[in-house]
Amino acid sequence: MALEGWFHIHDLDPDVISNNFMPFGRGVRQCPGADYTRAFMATFLHVLVSKYRWTKIKGGNIARNPNLGFGRRGIHMNFSEK
């Protein structure tokens, strides 16, 4: 009995795999650390916003689309305690 349409991971093009990667995908193989990571990032951002002053050193091109991006060079920030 053969599985029709089955493929081997080695036969896939690496560019196709990386373009379709979903870090916290849902379904049977959901990332077990997704909820922990969301809570950790929320706590980290809360501390960063409430206890530090942000100063922009040199900015990048901010692209406002569904995924917020800062261009190839990023955005340079200086953080100092309040």
Q: What is the mean pLDDT of each run of 10 residues along the chain (82 residues)?
A: 54 57 62 85 92 82 62 77 90
Tell me the two tokens of residue 28. Answer: 């049977």
Task: Indicate the pTM of the whole model.
Answer: 0.49
CA distance 45 to 39: 10
Q: Report yes or no on 77 lying in a domain.
A: yes
Q: Report yes or no on 71 lying in a domain.
A: yes
Q: Provide the number of structural domains found in the chain.
A: 1
Q: Report yes or no on 65 lying in a domain.
A: yes
pLDDT the model gives residue 6: 54
Q: Report yes or no on 69 lying in a domain.
A: yes
Structural domain span for residue 63: 54-81
3-state secondary structure 10-75: HHCCHHHHHHCCCCCCCCCCCCCCHHHHHHHHHHHHHHHHHHEEEEEEECCCCECCCCCECCCCCC
Q: Report yes or no on 9 lying in a domain.
A: no
SS3 10: helix
- In total, the chain counts a number of residues equal to 82
